């Protein structure tokens, strides 16, 4: 039964409109719809994301929204990718040109992720996703899409190790680093109560991630 449901869900997601067939105007409209959905999610939570609410705020018809996103699953899946793409674009714009070496780039990347997660909008978005994922398969799929992108991104910035780590070990460590960074949200960020014993926590987190990324296999 579960396998059948997963197959049906995958088939529904495959029916979305390919971006390669969209005109510039169509792609702009699709992006505008995703931006509206993201803002609704941050401001009012998942309950506010309906085709009617999205179309009203985007100033398009419900038919326009369902043309690009036939089901809410399509919308949420692409919204997860859109949120990550926006985050990655910001990283590339802000990354200093004077970074030297793979370890320095890795450290900067981890610090950037931590700082982004402390921003009120990002913090609220991630916590809303976590809260809803346990009650909604659609949101769980969205969360899975988002964190798959995060893990892949970390994998790409992990410094090379001699002798090289196995592919499986690198992927496991990228997943562990992702969990470490995201777990910091419960301790740092908007409205968190400061504690003296947690001074230097972010520096320690970067160091721990670096060790995990560069430690040779046993």
pLDDT digits (tens, 9 = 90+) for 3-24: 344 434 444 444 455 565 678 8
Query: Whats the size of the chain, residue-wise?
Result: 218
The mean per-residue pLDDT over the stretch 69-91 comes to 92
Average pLDDT, the chain: 88
Q: Where are the beta strands (DSSP E) in 104-214?
A: none
Per-residue pLDDT tens over the stretch 111-137: 999 999 999 988 888 888 898 898 889
Domains by residue range for the chain, with CATH: 1-71 (1.10.10.60), 95-218 (1.10.357)
* Residue percentage of the chain with pLDDT more than 90: 68
Of the candidates 103, 109, 121, the residue with the CA atom closest to the CA atom of residue 150: 109
- Contact assessment for residue 117 and residue 126, using Cβ atoms and an 8 Å cutoff: yes
- Closest of 123, 126, 122 to residue 87, by C-alpha: 122
Among candidate residues 35, 141, 29, the one with its CA nearest the CA of residue 82: 35
């Amino acid at each position: 039964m579960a396998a059948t449901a997963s197959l049906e869900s995958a088939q529904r997601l495959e029916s979305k409109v390919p971006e390669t067939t969209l005109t510039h105007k169509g792609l702009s409209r699709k992006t505008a719809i995703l931006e509206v959905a993201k803002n609704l999610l941050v401001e009012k939570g998942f309950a506010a994301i309906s085709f009617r609410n999205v179309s009203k705020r985007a100033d398009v018809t419900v038919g326009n929204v369902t043309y690009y996103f036939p089901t809410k699953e399509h919308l949420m899946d692409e919204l997860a990718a859109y949120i990550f793409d926006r985050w990655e674009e910001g990283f590339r714009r802000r990354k200093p040109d004077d970074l030297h070496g793979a370890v320095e780039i890795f450290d900067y990347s981890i610090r950037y992720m931590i700082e982004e997660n402390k921003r009120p909008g990002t913090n609220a978005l991630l916590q809303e996703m976590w809260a809803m994922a346990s009650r909604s398969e659609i949101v769980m799929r969205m969360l899975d899409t988002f964190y798959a992108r995060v893990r892949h991104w970390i994998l790409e910035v992990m410094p090379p190790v001699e002798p090289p780590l196995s592919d499986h070990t690198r992927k496991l460590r990228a997943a562990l680093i992702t969990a470490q960074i995201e777990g910091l949200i419960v301790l740092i960020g908007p409205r968190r109560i400061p504690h003296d014993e947690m001074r230097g926590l972010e520096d320690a987190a970067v160091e721990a991630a670096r060790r995990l990324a560069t430690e040779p296999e046993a």
